[in-house]
């Protein structure tokens, strides 16, 4: 196989056994992935990071604008469904951090097959490559939504998975595929499950950037039901600190919940965003609850705490970062012209999970 120039790495194959020397980060131009890449490149012991990203609607090369000039970064535009391309880069790196995924609940209602293809088959293709080339560590990044709704209490890593929607089901399936490669073939897989992330560069279909950009436009925002759904909010940089801990110190076969930060109902969150944007409750309307809208997520993350994890950011103190959206209007969602059009066509959510 002769790869085009854009698919050639700048770094020779590595012979080290150190986990963090060189990593493939799938989805590394996305929201969480780009923050993780920046964190890895700040580490003195990281000699190379290869970003593999298909640059779909959710990935932006601009998220890595400065990092593209770093000689330790190799950027590859490509899909995890391309086995030949995956093989080429996996065998040249010691670790994989797998973030590439279809991740928006509302989109999964209209394009479930895309979620299954990317999240399940894409994960299996990466795992097969990791098995063939003896990858030293495979960190599979998942979500608290695989546990399903909890009226009370917190989900631990040992709890059964009860996903409600196609997105969460596809992630639960990919978790099981990943862990099966550890149990069957000894691939050193760790699974992380994080709560709702927020921070700069998040795609505008998610609830915080969606509400902020609508309020900045002077438009209405909408709450499902009575706005009583509870979510745990975790700053993206805190999540990346957790991912780095698991990459370096996680036990193969282990599952690690990454939570903390702030628990809020969607109505409480909306109140904070209104205040930050200088708007009032006249800008809020209520719509019927969407299908399968889980009332509450909550995880026990004491296992990761024992590795030294502690969230350093709270949502209330980080809301000033919404100024990023004021400064980047090119990343705002398009004006929704037909409120009855399917989500897959308008590429924007009524209210993200």
**14-27 residue pLDDT tens:** 333 466 789 999 99
Who's near 344: CB < 8 A, 6+ residues apart? Answer: 107, 110, 111
Residue 4 confidence (pLDDT) above 70: no
Instruction: Find the catalytic residue in 144, 238, 276, 321.
Output: 144
Least confident window among 50-64, 78-92, 310-324: 310-324
**pLDDT tier at 290 (50, 70, 90 boundaries)?**
confident
Instruction: Find the catalytic residue in 102, 145, 205, 276.
Output: 145
Taking the CA atoms of residue 41, residue 248, residue 127 and residue 63 in that order, the dihedral angle to the nearest 10 degrees is -30
Cβ pair 14, 48 in contact under 8 A: yes
Per-state percent for the chain, helix, strand, coil, to nearest 5: 40, 15, 40
Higher pLDDT, 203 or 215: 215
Question: Cα 249 from chain centroid?
Answer: 20
Q: Which domains are assigned to the chain?
A: 18-197+235-258 (3.40.50.720), 202-231+263-295+313-346 (3.90.25.10)
- The pLDDT, as a whole number, for residue 144 is 96
Per-residue pLDDT tens digits for 29-43: 999 999 999 999 999
Residue 143 confidence (pLDDT) above 60: yes
**pLDDT tier at 110 (50, 70, 90 boundaries)?**
confident
Closest CA to 179 of 79, 105, 250, 88: 250
- The pLDDT, as a whole number, for residue 314 is 86
Question: What would the DSSP string read from start to end of 254-299?
Answer: -EEEE--SEEEEHHHHHHHHHHHHT--GGGEEEEPPPTT--SB--B
Instruction: Find the catalytic residue in 88, 89, 167, 181.
Output: 167
- Look over the chain and give the mean of its residue pLDDT values, rounded to a whole number: 87
| 144 noted as active-site residue | yes
Please say whether the dihedral angle defined by the alpha carbons of residues 335, 337, 340 and 342, taken in this order, is positive or negative: negative
Average pLDDT over residues 127-146: 97
Q: What percent of the chain has pLDDT over 90?
A: 71
**pLDDT tier at 336 (50, 70, 90 boundaries)?**
low
Higher pLDDT, 212 or 292: 212
Average pLDDT over residues 287-312: 91
Angle between helices 166-185 and 122-132 (to 10 degrees): 20
| Count of helix runs (H) and strand runs (E) in the chain | 13, 12
Q: What angle do CA 158, 164, 168 make, to 5 degrees?
A: 70
Average pLDDT over residues 180-194: 98
**pLDDT tier at 188 (50, 70, 90 boundaries)?**
very high
Closest CA to 118 of 184, 62, 166: 166
Closest CA to 21 of 45, 57, 3: 45
- The pLDDT, as a whole number, for residue 19 is 67
Distance between CA 51 and CA 69 in Å, rounded?
13
Q: Which residues of 289-302 are buried (b: 16+ CB within 10 A; e: fewer)?
A: bbeebbebbbbbbe
**pLDDT tier at 291 (50, 70, 90 boundaries)?**
confident
- The pLDDT, as a whole number, for residue 335 is 60
Query: And the tokens for 310?
Result: 């502690």
């Amino acid at each position: 196989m002769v790869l085009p120039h854009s698919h050639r790495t700048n770094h020779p194959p590595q012979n080290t056994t150190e986990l963090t020397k060189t990593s493939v980060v799938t989805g590394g131009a996305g929201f969480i992935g780009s923050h993780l890449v920046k964190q890895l490149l700040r580490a003195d012991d990281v000699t190379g990071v290869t970003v593999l990203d298909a640059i779909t609607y959710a990935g932006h090369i601009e998220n890595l604008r400065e990092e593209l000039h770093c000689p330790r970064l190799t950027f590859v535009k490509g899909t995890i469904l391309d086995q030949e391309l995956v093989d080429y880069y996996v065998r040249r790196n010691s670790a994989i951090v797998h973030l590439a995924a279809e991740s928006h609940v509302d989109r999964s209602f209209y394009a479930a097959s895309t979620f299954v293809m990317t999240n399940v088959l894409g994960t299996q293709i990466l795992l097969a490559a990791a098995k063939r080339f003896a990858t030293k560590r495979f960190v599979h990044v998942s979500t608290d939504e695989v546990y399903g709704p909890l009226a009370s209490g917190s989900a631990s890593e040992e709890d059964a998975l009860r996903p409600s929607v196609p997105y969460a089901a596809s992630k639960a399936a990919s978790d099981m595929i990943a862990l099966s490669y550890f149990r069957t073939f000894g691939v050193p897989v760790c699974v992380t499950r994080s709560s709702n992330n927020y921070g700069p560069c998040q795609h505008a279909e998610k609830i915080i950037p969606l509400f902020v950009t609508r309020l900045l436009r002077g438009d209405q925002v909408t709450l499902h039901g009575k706005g009583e759904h509870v979510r745990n909010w975790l700053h993206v940089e805190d999540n990346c600190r957790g991912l780095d801990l698991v990459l370096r110190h996680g036990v193969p076969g282990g599952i690690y919940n990454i939570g903390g930060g702030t628990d809020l109902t969607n109505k409480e969150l909306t109140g904070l965003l209104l205040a930050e944007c200088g708007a009032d409750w006249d800008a809020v309307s209520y719509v019927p609850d969407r299908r399968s809208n889980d009332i509450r997520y909550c995880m026990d993350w004491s296992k990761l705490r024992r590795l030294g994890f502690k969230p350093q950011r709270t949502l209330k103190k980080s809301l000033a970062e919404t100024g990023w959206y004021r400064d980047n209007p090119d990343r705002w969602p398009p004006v929704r012209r037909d409120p009855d059009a399917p989500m897959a066509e308008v590429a924007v959510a009524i209210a993200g999970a």
